[in-house]
Amino acid sequence: MKSLQDNCGVFGLCSDTECVHDIFQGIDFLQHRGQEYCGISTFDGSIRQITHYGKVAGTFSREDLGYLAGTRGIGHVSLWERQPVRWECQLGEIAVAFSGNVLNADDLIADMKGRGKAFYQGYNIEIISKIIMEEKDVVAGIHALARKVKGAYSLVVLTKDGIYAARDIYGFRPLILGQGPGRYAVASESRAIQNLEMETVRDVRPGETILINDKGFQTMAQLDSPRRAHCAFEWAYTASLDSIIDGVYVQEARNNLGESLAQRDIEEGGLEADIVAAVPMSGIGHALGYHKRSKINYQEVFLYNRYADRSYTQSSQLAREKMAKRKLSVLHYAVQGKRIVLCDDSIVRGTQIFNKVRGLKKAGAKEVHVRIACPPLMCPCDFGISTRSYGELAARRHIESGDITSME
């Protein structure tokens, strides 16, 4: 079984005009959620679909966009596989795209194979799709996901009736609705809606299934949600700074986390430092919050390579390490002789922070005090991006020392 292991980005749009250019832009605005694969499906009496290996802006040609005719469609960006996936089944012709992870995938595949179902690759999207396709309609299929799937998902399903959008009963993955003149949209993040000059409406509720068509949004079902279990990593790292998720602005959340770190230092007697700096890009919001509360000057100490991808969303540890080295270079003038408070969102495997502290010291920094917004990650997360073992987690290995040098 091949596990999806990433957050991904989904987007759907119903419009009173041709929709493909808006979908193209929508998934481009979600590119930070996955850089390996991208795809678009549209409906024009039948489903037309194109997927690519690579980034949105660099792969879809003018001919591709011309072929993808229709007034409604869905799009997807991913780290691990091509989506959406198109199917012909008892429900008719459908295309499915989702963000999440199926923890009991092996058991589900074994069960369906035992009932005569064929699996071609065993990707999570294949499992999700086939559970839906076994039922009498899409809504019943999504209900079946809630009963059978252990894991996290937000999904969109393109059909002849419109686009179905759904979120798991815990609300692990974000999913938000938006609208503008003649357009109704759903996206993993609000930035994909706002940057298309639409207004955000609300988040899809945990356990809710919505039908989107040219008349707007219709709640088709609302399952009970035993509790909310949103992924806090969305606010700390994954989501774009200009997004709002479940009513909380990402920028505000990061600023508040940074202020809390500074407040803790103040309560513990204060920290003597010359500058506050960030590990770009996700560390910037945290560093600005620290700067605001501590009154210590903010200074950029790294030059960010805007052509590099996000190191945490690479497909292997070796790729993560290579990307971390490509992403940032030290601004020597800014750090020489300085005592630096360096803020970042998290330490997972330690891919970046180890090398960055060494790089700053080598460039002449007098002291480097690391401040991390997320609490120490002591346990693997089966619902998020590829942290599957205790041995991968830097905090698990080094938390007892309380000293970054022990990570070397």
Lowest mean pLDDT among 54-58, 148-152, 342-346, 377-381: 377-381
Q: Percent of the chain having pLDDT more than 90?
A: 76
Q: Which amino acid is at 335?
A: V
Strands 339-344, 367-372: pairing kind: parallel
Assess whether the region 9-230 and the region 250-407 belong to the same CATH fold. no
pLDDT recorded at residue 37:
97
Higher model confidence: residue 400 or residue 7? 7
Mean pLDDT, all residues of the chain = 91
Active site residue 8: yes
Given a cut of 60, whether residue 288 has pLDDT beyond it is yes
Greater confidence, 389 or 188? 188
Q: Counting Cβ atoms within 10 Å, is residue 268 exposed (0-12), middle (13-18) or buried (19+)?
A: exposed
Q: Which of 58-67, 126-135, 243-252, 306-315 has the lowest mean pLDDT?
A: 306-315
Cα–chain-centroid distance for residue 276? 27
- Look at residues 397, 401, 52, 30 and name the one whose alpha carbon lies nearest to residue 194: 30
Strand (E) positions, 16-161? 37-43, 47-53, 72-78, 85-89, 92-102, 151-159
| 185-220 residue pLDDT tens | 999 999 999 999 999 999 999 999 999 999 999 999
Q: Are strands 92-102 and 151-159 parallel, antiparallel or unpaired?
A: antiparallel
pLDDT at 380: 80
Structure confidence by residue, pLDDT tens digits, 344-387: 999 887 777 888 999 999 999 999 999 999 988 888 877 765 56
- Angle at the Cα of 167 from the Cα atoms of 5 and 142, rounded to 5 degrees: 100
Query: Which pLDDT score, from 0 to 100, does residue 4 have?
Result: 37
pLDDT digits (tens, 9 = 90+) for 217-235: 999 999 999 999 999 889 9
321 vs 406: which has the higher pLDDT: 321
Q: What is 9-230's CATH number, 3.50.50.60, 3.90.79.10, 3.40.50.300, 3.60.20.10?
A: 3.60.20.10
Q: Is the pLDDT of residue 5 over 70?
A: no
Q: What is the mean pLDDT of residues 2-14?
A: 75
pLDDT at 82 over 90: yes
Structure-block tokens of residue 18: 């041709």
Query: How large is the average pLDDT for residues 118-142?
Result: 92
Residue 100 has pLDDT above 70, yes or no: yes
- pLDDT score, position 377: 82
Residue 381, pLDDT score:
79
Which residue ranges make up each domain of the chain? 9-230, 250-407
Among 8, 14, 231, 343, the active-site one is 8
Better-predicted residue by pLDDT, 82 or 389: 82
CATH number given to 250-407? 3.40.50.2020
Residue 317 pLDDT > 70: no
Q: pLDDT grade, residue 402 (50/70/90)?
A: low
21 against 393, higher pLDDT? 21
Q: Please report the pLDDT score of residue 343 as a whole number.
A: 98
